[in-house]
Amino acid sequence: AQSVTQLGSHVSVSEGALVLLRCNYSSSVPPYLFWYVQYPNQGLQLLLKYTTGATLVKGINGFEAEFKKSETSFHLTKPSAHMSDAAEYFCAVVKAAGNKLTFGGGTRVLVKP
Amino acid sequence: DGGITQSPKYLFRKEGQNVTLSCEQNLNHDAMYWYRQDPGQGLRLIYYSQIVNDFQKGDIAEGYSVSREKKESFPLTVTSAQKNPTAFYLCASRSPPGGEDNEKLFFGSGTQLSVL
User: Position A57: which residue type?
Assistant: V
Cis peptide before B39 (omega within 30 of 0): no
In degrees, rounded to 5, the angle at the alpha carbon of residue A78 between the alpha carbons of residues A21 and A3 is 30
Inter-chain CB proximity B33 and A90 less than 8 Å: no
- Which of B6, B42, B107 is closest, CB to CB, to A104? B42
CB contact (8 A) between residue B45 and residue A34: no
Strands A107-112, A10-14: pairing kind: parallel
Question: How deeply is B27 buried, as exposed, middle or buried, from its count of CB atoms within 10 A (0-12, 13-18, 19+)?
Answer: middle
Residues in chain A: 113
User: Is B41 within 8 Å of chain A by CB?
Assistant: yes
Predicted confidence (pLDDT) per residue in A1-43, tens digit: 668 899 988 899 999 999 999 999 987 677 888 999 988 767 7
Does any CB of chain B come closer than 8 Å to the CB of residue A44? Answer: yes
CA atoms of B80 and B98, how far apart (whole Å)? 41
With b meaning 16 or more CB within 10 Å and e meaning fewer, what string describes A13-39? beeeeebebbbbbebeeebbbbbbbbe
The beta-carbon neighbor of A44 closest among B40, B107, B112 is B107
DSSP 8-state symbol, B16: T
Over residues A22-31, the pLDDT tens digits come to 999 987 677 8
Query: Taking CB atoms and an 8 Å limit, are A100 and B45 in contact across chains?
Result: yes
* From A36, A100, A103, residue closest to B48, measured CB to CB: A100
B17: distance to nearest CA of chain A, Å? 25
Q: Let me know: does A13 contact A76? Beta carbons within 8 Å.
A: no
pLDDT in tens, chain B (116 residues): 568 999 998 999 888 899 999 999 999 999 999 999 886 567 888 999 999 999 999 889 999 999 999 999 999 999 998 989 999 899 999 888 777 666 777 888 889 999 88
User: What's the rounded Cα separation, in Å, for the pair A63 and A85?
Assistant: 10
Phi, psi of A70 (to 5 degrees): -65, -25
Question: Are A105 and B40 an interchain contact pair (Cβ–Cβ within 8 Å)?
Answer: yes
Nearest beta carbon to residue B31 from set A36, A43, A99? A99
Q: Whole-angstrom Cα distance, residue A49 to residue B19?
A: 34
